[in-house]
Amino acid sequence: MSELVKKLEPKIIWNHFANLNAIPRPSKKEEQVIEFMMNFGKDLHLETFTDSVGNVIIRKPATKNFENRKTIVLQSHLDMVHQKNGTTIFDFDNEGIKMLIEGDWVTADGTTLGADNGMGVAAIMSVLSSKKIQHPNIEALFTIDEETGMTGAMGLEAGLLEGEILLNLDTEEDDEIGMGCAGGIDVTATGKYPEEVTPQKTIGFSITVKGLNGGHSGMDIHKGLGNANKIMNRLLFDGFSKFGLRISEINGGSLRNAIPRESNAIIAIDKISEKIFLRNTELLIAQIKNEFLSIEPNLTIEIQEIATPEKVMELNIQENFIRAIYTSLNGVYRMSPTISGLVETSNNIAKVTVQKGLIKVKCLIRSSSESNKQDLTNSLKSAFELAGFEVEISGEYPGWQPNVNSKILEIVSNIYEDLHGEKAHVAACHAGLECGILGQNYPKMDMVSFGPTILGAHSPDEKVSISSTQKFWRFLQEILKNIPKK
């Protein structure tokens, strides 16, 4: 199917995207894609190098008559979120993405597509490889590890880049021009528990929550989508408080920046309570599915009898754990008081694991307000510490504060209106773009963000619009031709 994708227009972008998607590029394992980009730049006989953390920089001289324009930085990240459906067999470390064409969309076969941010990378590659596009001096910056730590952007040294303008190609709606974004911080709660021999005369069950939409924990957090970890905890709390349910194992969610789609638990119930427990749980399942019917029509919750687990969590720790998850906020904490419709602060309870005496809960807080980011961090930290857990705070990165006086924002907005006869949606977003971090070491660099329409990022439903990619490509070329003089 990659060969069919390569025939799409504009061919130059889709060919580069298909070649990129043949390279495994999980966050923190970007060795293969770094080598791929290094070879790409060197094959074009362009100045190509990596910095101390692994970011790839490729410089291309201006085309004729554009030498006196300001140097621009074209920036996208090399890594991609790796998510797959529970039934999909796929090795992200060794396989290239299997792409499909469905009408106006390119998607993947049961996995994330990597359009976030592969389409941006492919567009920059297209500019670098083209002999026809007019442009000023270009510094192409391909950062690493954006999705799980932004260590590439954080490690980029001051003074390495000469560009005065940065075009970040990581926005996911083609009528939007980004001028700001949220910062983030990781909250991880861990605890140990003694395993107890499962009481006699108990029966084992597996509980599975699946079929949720999932999605981007920033861009989709306001939609009220189901979080598999919170739904599972609701079921466990009910079973524990009414029937003495005992937990043996839990495995829910995966990456911090993805709303969890699936969760699995192994539990035990007194044999004498089996029938009433099942009847009560089925009623609760029906209620939950009804609550989510309009936005999660494929939600499935299954409970099946299995062999009784040999060991379960110690009872008091189990109760503290369940109550801590129940009281921890998931979703929107505060909407922006100044920008209508923008989420200011949120939390995603991303991954919950209970196994062999160890509990781990991973959360990602996002906020465009540093004070509210800290406020919510303290709230989660307090909830977990009161329950006896150790809490680690890590991975903090700043937001990108909007600059309403940005010259490049004005230029890009005018170009969009000239091309389409309507104004672009100029906005800050709740995702974590790298612009805020890059701006720390390059405070005078003028920045905007834009890109093609991508739906379902960070989930196996991810797809990118073919017609939108054509629109995006034309937009980018017009911007390159209209960069102001030095």
Active site residue 79: yes
Using CA atoms, how far residue 68 sits from 65, 130, 444, in Å, is 7, 20, 19
Is residue 465, in this structure, part of any structural domain at all? yes
Q: How many domains does the chain have?
A: 2
Give the whole-number percent of the chain exceeding pLDDT 90: 92
Contact 338, 269 (CB under 8 A): no
**46 and 94 assigned to the same domain:** yes
Last residue of a domain, one of 368, 397, 426: 397
Q: Where are the alpha helices (DSSP H) in 251-299?
A: 274-291
Residue pLDDT, tens place only, 3-21: 899 999 999 999 999 999 9
Give the model's confidence band at 319: pLDDT under 50 very low, under 70 low, under 90 confident, else very high.
Answer: very high
Residue pLDDT, tens place only, 52-71: 999 999 999 999 999 999 99
Is residue 242, in this structure, part of any structural domain at all? yes
**253 and 163 assigned to the same domain:** no
Rounded to whole angstroms, the Cα distance separating 117 from 78 reads 7
Give the domain range for residue 80. Answer: 2-182+400-481
Give the model's confidence band at 401: pLDDT under 50 very low, under 70 low, under 90 confident, else very high.
Answer: confident
Give the model's confidence band at 1: pLDDT under 50 very low, under 70 low, under 90 confident, else very high.
Answer: low
User: Which backbone phi and psi does 438 adopt, to 5 degrees?
Assistant: -60, -35
30, 79, 170, 176: which is the annotated catalytic residue? 79
Give the model's confidence band at 149: pLDDT under 50 very low, under 70 low, under 90 confident, else very high.
Answer: confident
The residues pairing with 184 across neighbouring beta strands, listed in sequence order, are 366, 397
- pLDDT for the residue numbered 402: 86
Name every residue whose Cβ is closer than 8 Å to that of residue 320 and which is 6 or more positions away in sequence. 387, 388
**245 and 279 assigned to the same domain:** yes
Q: What CATH number corresponds to the domain at position 217?
A: 3.30.70.360
Is residue 309, in this structure, part of any structural domain at all? yes
- pLDDT for the residue numbered 451: 98
What are the tokens at 49? 């190098």
Give the model's confidence band at 182: pLDDT under 50 very low, under 70 low, under 90 confident, else very high.
Answer: very high
Q: What CATH number corresponds to the domain at position 94?
A: 3.40.630.10
**393 and 413 assigned to the same domain:** no
Burial class (CB in 10 A: 0-12, 13-18, 19+), 453: buried
Is residue 486, in this structure, part of any structural domain at all? no
Tell me which H or E stretch contains 358: strand 358-367
| Amino acid symbol at 429 | C
What's the rounded mean pLDDT across residues 158-177? 96
30, 145, 146, 186: which is the annotated catalytic residue? 146
Residue 2 pLDDT > 80: no
**339 and 427 assigned to the same domain:** no
Q: How far is CA 282 from the centre of its chain?
A: 33
Rounded to whole angstroms, the Cα distance separating 435 from 153 reads 8
Last residue of a domain, one of 362, 397, 432: 397
What are the tokens at 307? 């062999």
SS3 for 441? helix
What's the rounded mean pLDDT across residues 80-109? 94
Is residue 308, in this structure, part of any structural domain at all? yes
Active site residue 270: no
**387 and 412 assigned to the same domain:** no
